[in-house]
Amino acid sequence: MGTVSYYTEAGLTKLKNELNDLKTRGRTDIAKQIAEARDKGDLSENAEYDAAKDAQGHLEAKISQLENIVGNARIIDESTIDTSKVSILSKVSIKNLKNNAKVTYTLVSEEEADLSLGKISIQSPIGKGLLGKVPGDKAEIQTPGGIIEFEILEIGL
């Protein structure tokens, strides 16, 4: 039993599609590579065969990992999200107290994170630092560039 993760419906659908693709197209491609390498003769000296078998192992591990994630995934009911404090799927507006820059992030699962869309993982330093905070709170967050202090301005969906 893995850990339960929460996803938006779109995020979970994307994960299921990726899993399905790996199980069908991914497995077919690997089987083809192994067969082609096998046709080239002596398997003891066959680097292509070893590489294909290695890739097969990685693919099966990825499939197994995704099956585990999907099996333990729960869809988040956005209507039940408490916007009084920062939680997963919160859209948080924060101000960097050092340079007064304001940014808004949506906190999502690791797999749905996409900085270009303003979606950050709740596992990231900023995500973890904001969890549970309420508007007006300050959060000191350890970033690769040092500790930055943020003020939580507002929380929405």
What does the pLDDT profile of the chain (157 residues) look like in tens digits?
456 777 778 888 989 999 999 999 999 999 999 998 888 877 777 888 889 999 999 999 999 999 988 888 888 776 667 778 888 888 999 999 999 999 999 998 888 888 899 999 988 999 999 999 999 999 999 888 889 999 999 998 7
SS3 state of residue 11: helix
The 10 Å Cβ neighbour count of residue 149 is 13
Instruction: Give pLDDT, residue 37.
Output: 87
pLDDT given for residue 95 in this prediction = 94
- In this prediction, residue 97 carries a pLDDT of 93
Q: What is the pLDDT of residue 110?
A: 83
Enumerate residues 6+ apart whose C-beta is below 8 A from 72.
Answer: 1, 2, 3, 4, 5
pTM listed for this prediction? 0.60
**Domains of the chain, first to last:** 5-75 (1.10.287.180), 79-156 (3.10.50.30)
Residue pair 133/95 in contact (Cβ under 8 Å)? The answer is: no
